[in-house]
Amino acid sequence: MLHIRKRAIAIFFVIIIGFPWIAEHIPAITHYPDVMVFAGIYSLITIGLSLLLGYTGQISLCQAAFYGIGAYVSGILTARYGLNSWLCMAIGMIFSGLVALLVGPASLKLRGHYLAMATMAFGIIVSVILNQEVDLTGGPDGMTGIPMLSLFGFEFDTTEKYYYLVWAFVFAAFIFSVNVVQSGTGRALRAIHSSEAAASAMGINVLRFKVIVFIYGAMLASLAGSLFAHYLNFVNPSTFDVSFSIKLIIMITLGGMYELWGAIIGAGLITFLSYEWLHFFEEFEIVVYGAILLLVTIFLPKGLVGIPGIIKRWFRS
């Protein structure tokens, strides 16, 4: 059930590598690699969220906050203080991890709706800070002048180069998470999801594992934020508000939160829907998301990645 096949990962790898080349040759989708950069950035966050919500069973409505912290730490330290971009990325991740360590233990003692409320409150606090601390963050107008990324003189100055950079990170995060999920740690996380009482009776330090996964998700979101800031060279607080946290939940619900593939598929689909395919609906876009969430939870509780299983069962009976 949990075995993630090496062949599937290899095929996925080839598709990701070949995609820009294919897109280049089909006129209607030449700009798709740009959308895929965002899909990759969101995938980083949803992979962390999948581990937290899908595997460990703990909801978080503050992933956008860590995403914002990463973006702003990178933005402020590079644009204002001229620090090395990669160093700032690491600082952002460490800082987000520390914040998660501060917020996590208190909120993760709560369950269900209460956990959702607590994490949402934290998300709102971060959002308010980003809006109100005008001297530091530039306030609602956002901040500009965030430099491009470069590594040893190699500039990530085209969409294609950035695409490969982002997806390299996604791959690393994906493989790391697959390893976690398939190890004893992953079993401990699923045990917590199933029964906290039984998990702790088996010697699993429930709170500790929840906090570790929360920190991991926060650090991935922060990394995504830094990549976002360096790609657009501009950040503004509305990107990181609570509604984006909810959108992230929709992503993994659609893709399927009980398998890591679902995180990437969901992030990819929702990104394309909101950047490309749903322009027609304009401000009613949100209604479409609502409908998606409703339909998926009723008919596909395991998300899109659950479809092969449903088909298999059909054929058997």
Report the interface residues with other proteins, using CB under 8 A. Answer: 1, 176-177, 179-180, 183-188, 190-191, 193-195, 197-206, 212-213, 216
Rounded CA gap, 310 and 36, in Å?
28
Cβ contact 150:156 at 8 Å: yes
Smallest separation (angstroms) from other proteins to the CB of 36: 25
131 vs 177, beta carbon nearer other proteins: 177
Whole-number Cα distances in Å, 85 to 81, 154, 173: 11, 13, 20
Q: Shortest Cβ distance from residue 175 to other proteins (Å)?
A: 9
82 or 203: CB nearest other proteins: 203
**How near is the Cβ of 314 to other proteins at its closest, in Å?**
19
Find the distance separating the first CA and the last CA of the chain, reported in whole Å.
19
Q: Minimal distance in Å, beta carbon 93 to other proteins?
A: 14
Residue closer to other proteins (CB basis): 121 or 207:
207
Beta bridge partners of 235: 143
Tell me how far, at minimum, the Cβ of 191 lies from other proteins, in Å.
5
Q: Phi and psi for 235 in degrees, rounded to 5?
A: -130, 150
Contact 262, 54 (CB under 8 A): yes
Nearer to other proteins, 100 or 180 (CB): 180
Contacts of 42 (CB under 8 A, 6+ apart): 224, 248, 251, 267, 270, 271
Q: How far is the CB of 59 from other proteins (least distance, A)?
A: 17
Residue 96 CB, nearest approach to other proteins (Å): 16
Of 33 and 186, nearer to other proteins (C-beta) is 186
142 φ/ψ sector (left φ>0, alpha ψ -120 to 50, else beta): left
d(C-alpha 44, C-alpha 219), whole Å: 10
Distance CA 133, CA 190 (A): 40
Nearer to other proteins, 120 or 212 (CB): 212
Distance of CA 35 to CAs 6, 38, 152, 273, 275, Å? 27, 5, 27, 10, 7
Judged by CB, which is closer to other proteins: 30, or 194?
194
How far is the C-alpha of 269 from the C-alpha of 262, rounded, in Å? 10
Q: Give the residue with the Cβ less far from other proteins, 130 or 181.
A: 181
User: Smallest distance from the beta carbon of 56 to other proteins, in angstroms?
Assistant: 11
Rounded CA-CA distance 131/147 in Å is 22
